[in-house]
Amino acid sequence: MSGTPVSSMLLMLVASLIGSSGAVLLKLGAMELNKGFWHILNLKLAAGVAVYLVSWYVFVLGIRHGELSVLYPMVSLGYIWTLLWARLFFKEPFTREKFAGLALILLGVFFVGLGSK
Amino acid sequence: MNSTAANLARPTDVPPRRPLVLVFGCTVLGAAAQIFMKFGANRLTHPGLIGMATNLPLFCGLVLYGLSTVLLVLALKDGELSLLYPVIALTYVWVTVLSLVLLHDKPNPYKLAGIAIIVIGVSVLGRRGKR
């Protein structure tokens, strides 16, 4: 952990937050598809993809310095934010399965990060 | 009550299969996209826009990314965001497996343990949810 600058961790945190807002925009845009497939060309989806690109850029900035085992799993923090936004904006329930599954996935990504150079 | 109403009254605590299958496809295509990008980046001799525009693997990678995004959106149309979004972590699993097979990466115990735990996590997410 000592080899990882706080600035890199902050960048990863920011990337995960931006990415999770991109996920909310994708969900909002996806709901337009109930009117027909070609509603896939809508502003919310375009905004979602744009926000993803921004989050990817911040991610690349963040991952340049420091240990991947610390930085890699931080992107998965986005899954936690998304769980919160989904409850807040789309009234999706919290379930035990979601918490347990998410915890396991975070642990798994942590291990993948440990194994990455 | 007609049959549509009966369908709507179906218990909602079991995650529907279709969105899960779509996200599954999204992660496979996303992983393939990453592998193509890696291939493309390795043989990128002329950096800059022209070098990138004439690089076929890089182009294929972009197209696959586009397709995987379409699948994700189709999944989100009917599925829960909080359920489907973490499933995207399966991409790590496919990338690790494909890198072992295609790029001849050395197997790494941490990575193997990690992808095993991710697979268990995803299968827990797909189970019947109690509120």
ipTM of the complex: 0.87
Interface residues of chain A, partner chain B, Cβ below 8 Å: 23-24, 26-27, 29-31, 33-34, 40, 45, 49, 76, 78-79, 82-83, 85-87, 90, 92-98, 100-105, 107-116
Closest partner CB to B117 (pick from A85, A111, A116): A111
Question: Of B83, B69, B2, B4, which Cα lies nearest the Cα of B30?
Answer: B69
Q: In this structure, how many other beta carbons lie within 10 angstroms of the beta carbon of residue A105? A: 28
List phi, psi (to 5°) of A19.
-60, -40
Question: Alpha-carbon distance A39 to B73, whole Å?
Answer: 11
Tell me whether residues A104 and B108 touch, CB distance under 8 A.
Answer: no
pLDDT, residue A2, reads: 55
User: Torsion-angle region of residue A91: left (phi > 0), alpha (psi -120 to 50) or beta?
Assistant: left
What is the structure's pLDDT at B106?
82
Could you report the per-residue pLDDT of A60-115, keeping only the tens digit for each? 888 888 787 788 788 889 999 999 999 999 999 999 999 999 999 999 998 988 88
CB A23 within 8 A of CB B81: yes
Residues of chain B with Cβ-Cβ distance to A33 below 8 Å are: 73-74, 77
Number of helices (H), then strands (E), belonging to chain A: the values are 5, 0
| Residues B82, A86: C-beta atoms closer than 8 Å | yes
Alpha helices in chain A (DSSP H): 6-31, 43-63, 68-75, 77-90, 96-114
pLDDT value at residue B110: 92
- pLDDT of B52 > 80? The answer is no
Q: A51: pLDDT confidence band, cut at 50, 70 and 90?
A: very high
Q: CB of B130 within 8 Å of any CB in chain A?
A: yes
CB B105 within 8 A of CB B99: yes
Q: How far apart are CA A12 and CA A72, in angstroms?
A: 8
Query: CA B106 to CA B112: how far, in whole Å?
Result: 11
Query: At residue B131, does pLDDT exceed 80?
Result: no
% of chain A exceeding 90 in pLDDT: 61
Averaged pLDDT of chain B: 83
- Which residue reads 């009254």 in tokens? B9
* Position B5 confidence tier, pLDDT thresholds 50, 70, 90: very low
